[in-house]
Amino acid sequence: MSEPLENVRGPIPGKRSTELLARLRLHESRNVTAIEERFPVVWESALGSVVTDVDGNEFLDLTSAFGVAAIGHSNPYVASAVADQVVRLAHSMGDVHPSEVRIELLERIASIVPAGLSRTYLATSGSEAIEVALKTAMLATGKAGHASFRNSYHGLSFGALEVTGIERFRKPFAGALAGHALFLDYPRAKNAADEDSAPALESARSALQKRDDIGALVVEPIQGRGGVILPPTGFLRGLREICDEFGILLVVDEIWTGFGRTGTMFACEREAVLPDLLCIGKAMGGGLPIAALVGTEAAMNAWPLSEGEALHTSTFLGNPLACAAALATIGEIERNDLVSRAKQLGVTMVSRLGNLHRHKIVQDIRGRGMMWGIELDSAASAHETVVRALSLGLLLLQAGPEGNVISITPSLVMSERQLFHAIDLLDRALAPR
């Protein structure tokens, strides 16, 4: 049986979505959901790479919902692991009484991360993982400052916002930010073969030389929300060397790039870079909220041994349902060799997406594995494309600090038939307006 494609039954959003969005508007914080005449729809269910809305419309999903549904939406193995777990133990006690499933997950994480990373803090969001990384670096180095990159995205809670480099998110809260961060320029590879990272590394080195208070350098191997920006090959390796030179901990944020998305289990493996601290999340829980900070023994041992109350913890630390889901997710990635699949499909994507260059509004197409960005001439073009795509039965996401990039991060299990058809729909959505 071939996998389903899109099926749009009427105008988007349909009647039921419209009714529900009117109710949402009354009670949700007004900053959350942007409601327009043609956007969004209310989701009812999802399976694999197809999302069904409350009016019965079916959409092909090229976002995997922010990269979370990497093993497909409502993966049956995750569903049964969670169902099994929920009747036995839905919650344990964060830093007091652990659960067996949490111990299994900690062991499993140690088995898939680059060798040398062995100690984990389980978080409930990517932002929390980043914050714990910053705290770890401070404890390990005694230095309170951090460096990161312009247009980076590491989350929006106050600690994470200190290092998030997209100005729009920082500006309204700038008065409350400690402002210890140094923002460096993130280089953009000219093409897939670009290895010239020297100028960017030189400018990072000279900026860091002027500050003696930097304990952590936080970097995404590919800037995701910043517009799917790939640096030249060798950049991450160069940063590793600079961090070693200045006694700074290298924090690699793989919250989006992790779990096979870019064709290796973690993107830092491509350059054989061992971070001091690795942040992971999104795809990790197969749809349940869980993230983690994984570090070297040396870095993580900066935390004092707990003798009662942990210095950093939270109510839902190591939630058993999320742990069971994460174990099933890692199992699915390995069982189906999804890392290799992402790599192979990445090669296919080059030619398939390349055809889109014939649209005048397309300025650049770049990516690796199953993480791609299509840069358009303006945010308005990108928005119109996303809205039109929805009416055609295709889910897309806008990215980039200006919003002029369409990010494509499908599930790693999307069939070729679905993927190619989705790209055909994208082609139609890009057509002259």
> Does residue 6 bind ligand PLP (CB under 6 A)?
no
For the CB of residue 293, give the shortest distance to ligand PLP in the complex, in Å.
11
Sign of the Cα pseudo-torsion (233, 235, 240, 241, in order): positive
- What is the rounded end-to-end Cα distance, in angstroms, of the chain? 36
Reading the block at residue 123, the tokens are 């978080």
Instruction: Please give the Cα distance from 303 to 135 (Å, whole number).
Output: 9
The residue whose Cβ lies closest to ligand PLP is 126
Q: Which stretch binds ligand PLP (CB under 6 A): 8-16, 125-133, 238-246, 304-312?
A: 125-133
Provide the H-helix boundaries in 3-146: 15-27, 64-67, 76-88, 100-112, 126-141
> Does residue 75 bind ligand PLP (CB under 6 A)?
no
For the CB of residue 148, give the shortest distance to ligand PLP in the complex, in Å.
11
DSSP 263: S
Q: Which of 40, 48, 72, 126 binds ligand PLP (CB under 6 A)?
A: 126
Residue 284 or 423 having the CB closest to ligand PLP: 284
**Residues near 372 by beta carbon (within 8 Å), at least 6 away in sequence:** 228, 349, 353, 365, 366, 407, 408, 409
Residue 225 or 368 having the CB closest to ligand PLP: 225
Reading the block at residue 280, the tokens are 């992971």
> Does residue 155 bind ligand PLP (CB under 6 A)?
yes
> Does residue 131 bind ligand PLP (CB under 6 A)?
no
Residue 246 or 372 having the CB closest to ligand PLP: 372
Window 217-256: residues binding ligand PLP (CB under 6 A)? 220, 224-225, 253, 255-256
Q: Which of 40, 159, 281, 367 binds ligand PLP (CB under 6 A)?
A: 281
Q: Which residue has the tokens 């705290």?
A: 135
Q: Which of 63, 125, 141, 407 binds ligand PLP (CB under 6 A)?
A: 125
Beta bridge partners of 43: 53
For the CB of residue 165, give the shortest distance to ligand PLP in the complex, in Å.
11
Tell me the helix, strand and coil percentages in the chain, rounded to 5. Answer: 40, 20, 40
Instruction: Please give the Cα distance from 101 to 79 (Å, whole number).
Output: 16
> Does residue 401 bind ligand PLP (CB under 6 A)?
no
Which pairing describes strands 117-123 and 145-149: parallel, antiparallel, or unpaired?
Answer: unpaired
Q: Binding pattern to ligand PLP, positions 135-154, x when CB under 6 A?
A: ------------------xx
Residues that bind ligand PLP (CB under 6 A): 66, 125-127, 130, 153-155, 220, 224-225, 253, 255-256, 281, 291
